[in-house]
Amino acid sequence: MVAASESQSVDQSAFEVERIRRDFPALDQQVYGRPLVYLDSAATSQRPRAVIEAIDRFYTTQNANVHRGVHYLSQLATREFEAARVKTQHFINAPDTHEIIFTRGTTESINLVAHSFGAKFVGEGDEIILTRMEHHANIVPWQMLCERSGASLRVVPINDRGELLLDEYEKMLNPRVKLVGVTHISNALGTVNPVKRMIEMAHRHGIPVLIDGAQSAPHLKIDVQELDCDFYAFSGHKMYGPTGIGVLYGKSQWLNAMPPFMGGGDMIVSVSFEKTVYNTLPHKFEAGTPDIAGAIGLGAAIDYLNGIGLDRIAVYERELLDYATETIGAIPGVRFIGTAREKACALSFLIDDVHSHDIGTILDQEGIAVRGGHHCAQPAMKFFGVPATARASFAFYNTRAEVDALAKAILKVKQVFEV
Ligand SMILES: Cc1ncc(COP(=O)(O)O)c(C=O)c1O
């Protein structure tokens, strides 16, 4: 286990990846008689033992419903659940604990804003700005809002590298725009977007900004106060925590002004058939029994990440991505989709005209888990004129030796398809 007291200095020699790998039991297995090389962390990461044990401990000794009981276990579960909220607050440097809403994941967080913010602030003739590289989770909820409200979508274009055209973005900002939604890191292209600058630009026009942080929370140190974003959405399962838990950070000024998303228990102060009084933040947006074990597991993932240090993780992963880009890029016939100057964690590629599912299947036989498909980013794929790519995505538990194994397996693909 990596201790929280460990040096936080960015020192590559001190980044003991082999020791870190031992914290992740799922990495230590064979598939088809070969060591597993897990390069699909952008879809979902593996979990360290600390997270698995926190969930086990909750169900073994702490399990009760939260916020409702006077009995010992219920108070214990409530304390642990709320402690996870405080950890999450500090993880992204949110000003207030009540600005942390637990959801099922990034998708639900964005849907919450699209419904609730949309109901209050978006109407006929208004505009929502998104970008060409958004995940479907940051497109479809806004399209649904547009259908309901009569608003329309504007889309920031990208260049051939997969970078946003900020001049075009600037031209789109006008009083009709009610919100900008942009991904911090593209899951399909690996582009790291200049979100701080984009937020500043939007704020000059008084427009709030939602950041899709699904891919950034596991890889970058997030400071929502420094970014000054209005909303930040992310998922537990992509940052070494459990599935079924996610976070919406929102500035109090917006969350207080927004109506509830779902109705039910916990989100009310009192209910009568004549009038219901809604609860304060964060409970107003957390109807029903939450994923208590999930939140506690997320808290354990945050402790684990803090123990290593996001700054060190970002440097190690950057170096690994550079190595992968160089190694895989040197193979004749490999073409990268997404070559932005600022990139993180994901390498999307094609090999001549081999279908991405065939690439994925042959790599799988070699024990290498990558993703083949459109990565829920069909508009970005369409821009590059491809239906799909193969994507290797990296985490701090991956190694150069695994990149070498990927390169070797790509040669196998070329051999099989004679390209
Ligand atoms: C950029 C981005 N946004 C949103 C999502 C949706 O996340 P979830 O399925 O955890 O809600 C993903 C998942 O891959 C993603 O990569």
Provide the pLDDT for residue 345. 87
Quick one: which atom of ligand 1 is closest to the CA of 376? 14
Q: Residue 8 above 50 pLDDT?
A: no
Token pair for 111: 């849907």
Q: What is the pLDDT of residues 246-282, one digit of tens each?
A: 999 999 999 999 999 999 999 999 999 999 999 999 9
376 included as an active-site residue: yes
Q: Residue 52 above 80 pLDDT?
A: yes
Quick one: which atom of ligand 1 is closest to the CA of 238? 10
Distance 11 CA to ligand 1 centre (A): 31
Q: What is the pLDDT of residues 88-130, one digit of tens each?
A: 999 999 999 999 999 999 999 999 999 999 999 999 999 999 9
Q: Residue 35 above 90 pLDDT?
A: yes
Q: Residue 2 above 80 pLDDT?
A: no
Token pair for 151: 């608003």
Average pLDDT on 217-240 reads 98
CB atoms near residue 149 (< 10 Å): 18
Provide the pLDDT for residue 145. 98
Distance 382 CA to ligand 1 centre (A): 19
Provide the pLDDT for residue 5. 38
Provide the pLDDT for residue 6. 38
- Pocket-testing residue among 41, 103, 106, ligand 1, by greatest number of atoms within 8 A of Cβ: 106
CB atoms near residue 353 (< 10 Å): 8
Provide the pLDDT for residue 68. 80
Average pLDDT on 322-332 reads 98
Distance 42 CA to ligand 1 centre (A): 9
Provide the pLDDT for residue 76. 97
Distance 39 CA to ligand 1 centre (A): 16
Lowest mean pLDDT among 1-10, 178-187, 374-383: 1-10
With beta carbons less than 8 A apart as the criterion, state whether 389 and 381 touch. Answer: yes
**Cβ(372) to ligand 1 under 6 A?**
no
Q: Taking Cα atoms as reference points, which of 179, 183, 137, 129 lies closest to residue 156?
A: 129
The rounded mean pLDDT for the chain is 96
Q: Residue 12 above 80 pLDDT?
A: no
- Pocket-testing residue among 135, 195, 374, 378, ligand 1, by greatest number of atoms within 8 A of Cβ: 135
Q: Residue 69 above 90 pLDDT?
A: no
Q: Residue 4 above 50 pLDDT?
A: no
**Cβ(235) to ligand 1 under 6 A?**
yes
Q: Taking Cα atoms as reference points, which of 233, 175, 182 lies closest to residue 207?
A: 175
Nearest CA to ligand 1 atom 14: 43
